[in-house]
Amino acid sequence: MRLTPNRVVNGLILAGVLAVSGAVVASVEAAPEAKQRSPESLRTAASFQSITDPATRSVALFTEAGKVIQNPRCLNCHPVERAPTQGDDLHPHNPPMVAGDSGHGPAGLPCFSCHTGANVPTWGDNIKSIPGDPKWALAPAEMAWQGKSLGQICAQLKNPATNGGKTLEQIHHHMAEDHLVGWGWNPGAGRAPVPGTQAQFGELIRAWIDTGARCPQA
């Protein structure tokens, strides 16, 4: 059969789609099984009331919130390099991916090529899923904190010069109500969620702000 130019182009496009799809499935199937365990607990903000010194209580509150902030579900979207990571071990995203100018992937291969508005179960014997959310994207560059200590992350979050110009109230709103942040408590089959609930996390951040937004030692 004689191949026309249109057939050649269509064949190349199909091959590219299959290659990306195969890499995504392979990534999901190759990922380590999430440990079958109960979600880690998160203390309530009220449980810190016995700490009478506000500054000490503020540090303790943020340290507890750090169980979420430094959890792999969150760290994977907050890399220092502009490329997402995956899994509890923060391994490189497969297929290779970069944020692009918008944080939604490079031109021609946006995140929504594979990540839809909700988690999508994969087929086969292993119970896993491709994560998804209507706002799926990499965190802005100013919110990159993989590899940083909790004290460094805290200082970054509270400083408008390093957090994208946000006030502490805007930081609280993001933590307590943002739908994409909330994905961490509903990460899909094959992943352990972040500790507690988003409401508890938001209360910890609120109490941290109200006690002076003090940071752990860097």
**pLDDT tops 80 at residue 19:** no
Average per-residue pLDDT for the chain: 85
Token duo for residue 113 = 């090529």
Residue 184 lies in a domain: yes
Kindly state whether residue 218 falls inside one of the protein's structural domains. no
Give the 3-state secondary structure of residue 92.
strand
- Is residue 53 included in any domain, yes or no? yes
Give tens-digit pLDDT for 53-64: 999 999 999 999
Residue 39: predicted pLDDT: 59
Cα distances (Å, whole numbers) of residue 57 to 52, 197, 198, 210, 211: 7, 21, 20, 10, 7
Average pLDDT over residues 121-149: 89
Closest listed residue to residue 89, CA positions, set 158, 33, 38, 153: 33
Q: Which helix (H) or strand (E) holds 28?
A: helix 5-30
- pLDDT tens column, 179-203: 999 999 999 999 999 999 999 999 9
Q: What would the mean pLDDT of 36-52 be, rounded to a whole number? A: 84
- Give the residue among 167, 166, 174 at the shortest CA–CA distance from 202: 174
pTM for the structure as a whole: 0.81
Residue 86 dihedral angles phi and psi, to the nearest 5°: -140, 160
Q: How many structural domains are present in the chain? A: 1
Which amino acid type is present at position 87? G
Query: Residue 13: inside a domain, yes or no?
Result: yes
Buried b (16+ CB within 10 A) or exposed e, 156-185: bbbeeeebeebebeebbebbbeeeebbbbb
Q: Can you give the pLDDT at residue 125?
A: 65
Q: Is residue 60 part of a domain?
A: yes
Q: Mark 8-43 as b/e (b = at least 16 C-beta within 10 Å).
A: eeeeeeeeeeeeeeeebbebbeebeebeeeeeeebb
Residue span of the structural domain in which 120 resides: 5-210
Q: Is residue 149, in this structure, part of any structural domain at all?
A: yes
Nearby residues of 177 by Cβ (< 8 Å), 6 or more positions away: 198, 202
pLDDT at residue number 8: 33
CB distance 63 to 204 below 8 Å: no
Cα 174 from chain centre: 13
